[in-house]
Amino acid sequence: MTEEVLKYIEKAEHALKVAETLIESGYPSDAASKIYYSMFYAAQALLKSEGIDVVKHSAVESAFGYHFVKSGRIDPKYHRMLLDARKIREIADYDIQEEIVEPTASLKIDEGRAFLSAIKAFLDIS
């Protein structure tokens, strides 16, 4: 396991902790953004573990789907979680008409935890 992969996992864990704090403090829209970034960093860790170097959000999502989901190495539900989390983050960050409410953020934090756990299990990180 490279130092870079471990750093991405640390960033993913940190983003998820921040998201939990934001939900508890009444900021579900901000939490939604952090939940997505937790998944994004975890996906980058997985890709980096195999020498796949992509940075753009769409490229990370695409490479994650191609190299891990399409090949059957990761359950497709995790790809869907990542894609859905990005849509919610974009609403939270850019849409002035729609607000992310606490039940949605809480559901997504559960998905964020599941996503991170799946990636860590794949990478054999406890």
Please say whether the dihedral angle defined by the alpha carbons of residues 55, 108, 105 and 5, taken in this order, is positive or negative. negative
Q: Report CA dihedral (104, 36, 116, 18) to the nearest 10 degrees.
A: -80
- The tokens describing 123, both together, are 């990478």
Instruction: Read off the DSSP letter of residue 65.
Output: I
- Where do runs of H (alpha helix) occur along the chain? 3-24, 28-48, 57-64, 76-94, 102-123
Tens place of pLDDT per residue across the chain (126 aa): 899 999 999 999 999 999 999 999 999 999 999 999 999 999 999 999 999 999 999 999 999 999 999 999 999 999 999 999 999 999 888 988 877 777 787 889 999 999 999 999 999 997
Domain range for 49 is 3-123
**Residue 37 carries which side chain, given as an amino acid letter?**
Y
pLDDT at res. 93: 85
As for how many domains the chain has, the answer is 1
CATH number for position 49: 1.20.120.330
